[in-house]
Amino acid sequence: MTELNPVERQPSEIQLVLEEYAQDVELVDRYYDIPIVQSDLDKKKQFFQTYQKTLDGLDFDAMSQSERIDYFLFKTKLEYELRQLLHEERRNREIAQWVPFYETIARFESQRRQLEAIDSSTVAAQLASLPKQITDLRQSLEKPNDAEGVSGERLTLAHRAAKMVDELRKILQRWYDFYNGYDPVFTWWVNAPYQEADIAIQEYASFLREDIIGMKEEADAPIIGDAIGREALLNELANAMIPYSPEELIAIGRTEFAWCKQEMTRASHALGYGDNWQQALEHVKQAHVAPGEQPRLIQELALEAINFLEERDLVTIPPLARQMWRMSMMSPERQKETPFFTGGEVISVSFPTDSMPHEQKLMSMRGNNKHFARATVQHELIPGHHLQGFMARRHRQYRRVFATPFFVEGWALHWEMLLWDLEFAVKPEDRIGMLFWRLHRCARIIFSLGFHLGEMTPEECIDMLVDQVGHEKANAIAEVRRSFEGSYPPLYQCAYMIGGLQIRALHKELVASGKMTHREFHDALLRENAIPVEMIRASLTNQELHRDFSSSWKFAGAS
């Protein structure tokens, strides 16, 4: 059984506030869920400001070190959320002209939410006007003005608008289902105009995707990202307590990239391919198991990593965590966006199925070969995300609202780098397998930040992954697609290597100096939950924290 810390047995005042906040913020998000309505954003703004006042009313001077860390985590989070609302307001203004009918739908839903009486005949008339409004809108968009043309910005706005139309259609359907059949007068008046409006809205979303953006069912959809810009990136970095600019992080990524290339060339020489590391990488890609044998390989690799950790006493592995992980096979559809393993308690294995085209089967096997998989399994299971998640559910759960990929992914990347240092990879093929992923993480910093700064296109990102990292083309496309189409926060891809470098620098500060053992260090990190690494450092080093604290830890170069 995992022993609880005293702070977890005796909830502090701020912990109780945070537990309340965690429930409240989920309730507020569920209630004010019309994404483009200013009044909903205003209510959210008031919510965060109210909690700022609550936080300001706490006695900072009387707080313990752990409580002060919670204080700064909460302060940073609330400031981030308020800046993020301003960012959402700007983005809403940019697409308002693409979805002018949102006001009608929002008014309907607001009336339903407030349980206001409605006049069914009036509502029916308003619904009946929507198809004509959408038809006029489509005609205006089919003939863009000279300033808009077919620019990348126009495609981005169309893509964002199409997603908003999908959301508005769901909201309208929810509104209709609330009354339909329960209110016979409503159904008599509204049924026909609602059906016509629903069809018009659905067709409008298809029009945006197919006619404006160029997404056709018979071909793979183009990658239309939505760059957030430098100001929004700085807000994201402030929330993660990363005191570097996007440009400085790109420079760090390039430095790490150069190191990886140097080591890749060294491993290539060991295999007899000289400076031609691409040919050595091709040799490694051919070493994949036969169809049907991948699950057994994953099991063997998982046990190999666990035994390595236990033999060297690197981290505590609770018996349940060691035993109770599971495996699932990834669907062909999901592999189009996630060509490699994902994991946690359940590791989802990417490998060909019989329904895939021949070329796609070959690329999937090559991209998930034995040596790539060896590095991936320990990233996803133990000591990576499975162990991390297991411990996070048992320590300081109230901090889950502060979870950051700089720790979640940085933890797994720290282990990739530490295992490299501890010579987990002996054979040159395994070193290349580890280096491929490390090179991939460096590239993620460069291309993801470059894209959001407006300096790289999705096509240039794909080319970088293929030409400079060695990805299969289909896998590179899938990687870029999932990076930019909205399922991941803008800093997520950057967070792998940068978070890993943070933990690596802290490891050097505390373990290499002899202040902590490997096991003490790693167990202590896991007990803090997935918060920004600078706050974990403050906890482990007992850093003096004053009320005017701001993020300042320059970790790059320290490892």
Q: What is the pLDDT of residues 356-377, one digit of tens each?
A: 888 778 777 887 888 888 888 8
Same domain, residue pair 149 and 246: no
Between 346 and 509, residue with greater pLDDT: 509
Measured CA to CA, the distance from residue 397 to residue 301 in angstroms comes to 30
What does DSSP say about strands 346-349 and 326-329: parallel, antiparallel, or unpaired? parallel
pLDDT digits (tens, 9 = 90+) for 200-217: 999 999 999 999 988 875
- Retrieve residue 317's tokens: 């592995």
Measured CA to CA, the distance from residue 256 to residue 374 in angstroms comes to 21
Residue with tokens 């702070």: 7
Same domain, residue pair 273 and 330: yes
- Retrieve residue 340's tokens: 């490699």
Same domain, residue pair 387 and 246: yes
The last residue of a domain, from among 69, 95, 121: 95
Three-class DSSP category at 275: coil
Between 365 and 178, residue with greater pLDDT: 178
Q: If you ran DSSP here, which 8-state letter would residue 342 be given?
A: B
Three-class DSSP category at 491: coil
Same domain, residue pair 190 and 245: no
Q: Where are the alpha helices (DSSP H) in 57-183?
A: 65-95, 102-113, 120-142, 152-179
Q: Is residue 526 part of a domain?
A: yes
Number of domains forming the structure of the chain: 3
Q: Which residues span the domain enclosing 297?
A: 232-540
- Cβ contacts of residue 459 below 8 Å, gap of 6+? 223
Q: What is the structure's pLDDT at 361?
A: 80
Q: What is the structure's pLDDT at 145?
A: 54
Q: How confident is the model at residue 9 (pLDDT cuts 50, 70, 90)?
A: low
The last residue of a domain, from among 213, 240, 262: 213
Looking at the chain, the whole-number percentage of residues with pLDDT higher than 90 is 76
Do 105 and 168 contact (CB within 8 A), yes or no? Answer: yes
**In the predicted model, is pLDDT for residue 321 greater than 60?**
yes
Conformational region of residue 531, where left means phi above 0, alpha means psi within -120 to 50, and beta covers everything else = beta
Closest C-alpha among 490, 497, 379 to residue 445: 497
C-alpha 280: how far from chain center = 32
Q: How confident is the model at residue 146 (pLDDT cuts 50, 70, 90)?
A: very low
- Retrieve residue 332's tokens: 């062909």
- Retrieve residue 231's tokens: 């100001």
Q: What is the mean pLDDT of residues 475-483?
A: 87
Same domain, residue pair 106 and 84: no
Q: Is residue 549 part of a domain?
A: no
Do 542 and 526 contact (CB within 8 A), yes or no? Answer: no
Same domain, residue pair 46 and 144: no
Q: Is residue 227 part of a domain?
A: no
| Cα-based torsion angle of the residue sequence 211, 212, 215, 221 in order, rounded to the nearest 10 degrees | 170
C-alpha 274: how far from chain center = 38
Same domain, residue pair 129 and 58: no
Q: Where are the alpha helices (DSSP H) in 455-491?
A: 458-464, 473-484
Measured CA to CA, the distance from residue 241 to residue 202 in angstroms comes to 42
Same domain, residue pair 91 and 113: no
Measured CA to CA, the distance from residue 407 to residue 410 in angstroms comes to 5
Between 496 and 9, residue with greater pLDDT: 496
Same domain, residue pair 113 and 196: yes
- Cβ contacts of residue 261 below 8 Å, gap of 6+? 277, 439
Measured CA to CA, the distance from residue 477 to residue 461 in angstroms comes to 9
Is the pTM value of this prediction over 0.75? yes
- Retrieve residue 175's tokens: 């509104």
- Cβ contacts of residue 176 below 8 Å, gap of 6+? 190, 194
Q: What are phi and psi of 443, to 5 degrees?
A: -65, -35
Same domain, residue pair 419 and 491: yes
Same domain, residue pair 319 and 443: yes
Q: Is residue 458 part of a domain?
A: yes
Residue with tokens 């402030």: 238
Do 168 and 102 contact (CB within 8 A), yes or no? Answer: yes
Do 349 and 335 contact (CB within 8 A), yes or no? Answer: no
